[in-house]
Amino acid sequence: SAPLVLAASVIAAAVLEGVAGLAASAAAGAAYLAFVLVGLAIIHFISRGRPMRGILLGAVYAGLVVFNTGFTMILAIMGLTEPFSPLRRWRPPGPGGPTSAPKGPPSSQV
């Protein structure tokens, strides 16, 4: 339903005038930012346990500063497609990744 909110607010912002158009623009911007943050969360998740994680994340954040609009659109598209893509269901290898968690129920100490 969140992609529908984004689509509806973008259409309303394009059609409505005055305060209603301004409110629709604010709603579209808020929804857009939410999807950009989901895209950043995907990149953080994918880079877990990787030896070059700092360089990758540094490049992504530098890209956000330098190529703001283009980079945020890529991240928002990643965020919009996240429910349909296997990106966050994929388990990265190595220490610190989700696969390094202990399996099974926690042992009780009596």
Count of beta carbons in the 10 Å neighbourhood of residue 23: 14
Q: Which amino acid is it at 91?
A: R
The per-residue pLDDT for 89 is: 65
pLDDT in tens, 57-85: 999 999 999 988 889 999 999 888 888 87
pTM, full prediction: 0.70
Indicate the angle between helix axes 18-46 and 68-81, nearest 10 degrees.
80
Q: Which residues of 48-61 are buried (b: 16+ CB within 10 A; e: fewer)?
A: bbbeebeeeeeebe
Given a contact cutoff of 8 angstroms between Cβ atoms, the answer to whether 12 and 20 are in contact is: yes
pLDDT tens-digit series, residues 10-31: 888 888 888 888 888 888 888 8
State the average pLDDT over residues 46-61.
90
Flag whether pLDDT at 8 surpasses 60.
yes
